[in-house]
Structure 1
Amino acid sequence: MASPYMPGGLCVPVDGGYTFSGRWQFSSGTDHCDWAFLGALACTPDGRPEEPARMLHVIIPRSDYRIIEDSWDTMGLRGTGSKDVVVENAFVPDYRVMDCDEVIDGTAVRKYGRTETLYLMPWSTMFPLGITSATIGIAEGMLRCAEEYQGDRINAQGSRVKDDPYTMYALAEATGDLLAARDTVLANVDRMWDLVDSGKTPTFGQRAEGRRTQVQAAWRAVNAIDKVYPRCGGNALRMDKPLQRFWRDAHAGLHHAIHVPGTVFHASSLTRLGVDPEGPLRMMI
């Protein structure tokens, strides 16, 4: 199931469900999916978006949307095939539409009778985990590739790179940062799992701190490989060297909305100071 969550469409209520139209970017893996999970704005019966805005999550089968070919031409993460999809006046029954706020705050799972720990985990823990894990994994791949590449390399001065203490320092520092990023993300999920498994509902503040930790781990991983790649020499820039692909893909991973630190860090700090964030500061937390 492909899942561009952004509200790129409009849902107009009709008998038994909604009519649904829109266009979405970033539908990753969509060529291999039979369903799509799309974001939409709830509308009044005359087709105007509700005020205040209310976001819906809509599930539709492959027969109800078109994939726009050649709409994913990027410098990184080219293999995700995150193409645009278009929906034109599809009918969506009520049972395939969920209120986004209920998904984010966790009330949807209880509403539909799921009580297992996995289903009670916050959306703001589970969804970002997949994106961040992939980004950290790409950075780890870059480091492994750099170690192999540097092992027998002779630099422009005719010296073995493994005899250069400054490059060895950079490799060690990056290795430590990447290990810390991985461990931080895993520990972050473990804490939330233990909290939910004990029967407690995570507060907004706890969710915000989890998101802060997840975002910081992604940036730490990508910053780590930025210390390594420039020390791999000019030939590492060549397109036949996989180093450049790892580097591009890792940086592209940071462009995902789930890795934007501003509002997440802001909200996390406010909650620690006893302030309940409002409006946009609560988005995706």
Structure 2
Amino acid sequence: MPVTDVSDARAVLDGVRDLLPTFRDRADEAERLRVVPEASVKELEETGFFRLLQPRRFDGLEADPVTFYTAVRDISSACGSTGWVASVVGVHPWQVALFADEAQQAVWGHDTATRLSSSYAPTGKAVVTDGGYTLSGRWSFSSGCDHCSWVLLGGLVFNTDGQVVDFKTFMVPREHYQIVDVWNVVGLRGTGSNDIVVDEVFVPEAFTLSMSDTGRCFGPGQEQNTSDLYKLPFHSIFTGTITTPIVGMARGAYAEHVEMQQKRVRAAYLGEKASLDPFAAVRIARASSEIDAAWALLVNNIREEQEHVARGEKIPLALRLKVRRDQVLGTQRAIDAIDALFEASGGRALAEGTYLQRAWRDAHAGRVHAANDPERALQMYGAHEFGHKVDPGMY
């Protein structure tokens, strides 16, 4: 259905679920192309998916983040690469809503279907100049960049004396950056997570956002976009977009494992049906619990943050750290479930074209994302529990 007909975020979920068989059928094509097929992106656009977190004043839905995560989880259960790209591209309207109005107008003023990719690691250098910054650098892992006409890039800001004075996100239009095709990998092959190169490009002040501001849940765009949606912590919203696809992959792997075991006959055990093996039953019970726990904690924590925002309260640092604690452990729970299911599925799970082997590769590829670094997030949580000072800027 045309996006202009989407008036209810629930309709987006229905539209996404209708597409799942198609996404599953195209999973091999995505891996072969090393990018999500254009047809899949177009179909997601038509459901209104990319508008879920977009401001209403730009034809968005300002939907509940849990609705967004649910859609991502479902897409990932059919194709991990499609779910990953949908998640990281689909969350960017939320951050664009925090930029100054001039930047929002530049992105959506002429076309509210404009999409952005990103690479937030501060591998670029920005030098303060009159009215803005001169940005240069090379950034890796910009998932879905081929389907986008703007990019969000992290960079350290240097003053004229060469000292670092800030860490910002810079918004750059397609004509000012180059995409370098480097994405030849074993997992998440279909995400097209290529490099972005910028060479001495001027970025106006209005097209930047300080991470110190987002760390305190502030952005100049809140003046126009007053919804509670845009008052949630950046690192809660964005790290959830990294864990959710992996939880979705685990759900897809679980469904395929159960189906395979119901049909499987184990020759080494005198033709016994695998589904009659009591140990097989225990394995799926454990795996399903890990998957459910990862999802339940993600949803519960976002809900708890929303309650504080709705009451006009500052979100406690302890809660923000708990979000990150459960996010990294949620990723680990989902991967542990996939590993257990894969190991118990027999040799047929190794065949090309099975969801299970692809989910195993994709989930481990997603695990190496910086947002899934468990030790750092867990150390911060533990340090705070012991009463030590913790910088909330990155959490």
Q: What TM-score do you get using the length of structure 1 for normalisation?
A: 0.92
Pick the aligned partner of 2:227 from 116, 120, 138.
Answer: 116
Aligned to 2:4: none
Aligned to 1:22: 137
Q: After TM superposition, what 4+ stretches of structure 1 lie above 6 angstroms from structure 2?
A: none
Q: How does 1:19-168 map to 2 (within 5 A)?
A: 19-45=134-160, 48=162, 50-51=163-164, 54-69=166-181, 71-109=182-220, 112=223, 114-157=225-268, 158-168=271-281
Partner Cα distance (1:160, 1:123) in 2:
49
Aligned amino acid, residue 262 of structure 2: G
Per the TM alignment, residue 204 of structure 1 is displaced from its structure 2 partner at its CA by: 2.5
Per the TM alignment, residue 237 of structure 1 is displaced from its structure 2 partner at its CA by: 1.4
Per the TM alignment, residue 74 of structure 1 is displaced from its structure 2 partner at its CA by: 1.2
Q: Contact 1:188 / 1:214 at 8 angstroms: preserved in 2?
A: no
Correspondence 1:236 to 2:349: yes
Aligned amino acid, residue 2 of structure 1: S
Correspondence 1:219 to 2:332: yes
3-state DSSP of counterpart to 2:254: helix
Aligned amino acid, residue 98 of structure 1: L
Q: State, as a whole percentage, how many aligned pairs show the same letter.
A: 35
Per the TM alignment, residue 177 of structure 1 is displaced from its structure 2 partner at its CA by: 1.5
Aligned amino acid, residue 319 of structure 2: Q
Q: What TM-score do you get using the length of structure 2 for normalisation?
A: 0.67
Q: Kindly indicate which of the two structures has a greater share of residues assigned to helix.
A: 2
Specify every segment of 5 or more residues in structure 1 that has no aligned partner in the other structure, as ranges.
none
Specify every segment of 5 or more residues in structure 2 that has no aligned partner in the other structure, as ranges.
1-115
Partner Cα distance (1:62, 1:154) in 2:
54
Per the TM alignment, residue 109 of structure 1 is displaced from its structure 2 partner at its CA by: 4.8
Per the TM alignment, residue 108 of structure 1 is displaced from its structure 2 partner at its CA by: 2.5
String of CA shifts for 1:49-71, please: whole Å, max 9, x gaps: x24x62111000011100001x1
Partner Cα distance (1:129, 1:162) in 2:
34
Q: How does 1:185-200 map to 2 (within 5 A)?
A: 185-200=298-313
Distance 1:262 1:2, change over 3 A: same
* Residue correspondences, number: 278
Distance 1:11 1:210, change over 3 A: same
Partner Cα distance (1:191, 1:221) in 2:
22
Aligned amino acid, residue 229 of structure 2: L
Aligned amino acid, residue 116 of structure 1: S
Per the TM alignment, residue 239 of structure 1 is displaced from its structure 2 partner at its CA by: 2.0
Q: Contact 2:143 / 2:192 at 8 angstroms: preserved in 1?
A: yes
Distance 1:8 1:234, change over 3 A: same
Aligned amino acid, residue 206 of structure 1: L
Aligned amino acid, residue 175 of structure 2: S
Which deviates the most, 73-82 or 109-118? 109-118
String of CA shifts for 1:41-92, please: whole Å, max 9, x gaps: 101226x3x24x62111000011100001x1111111111111010011111
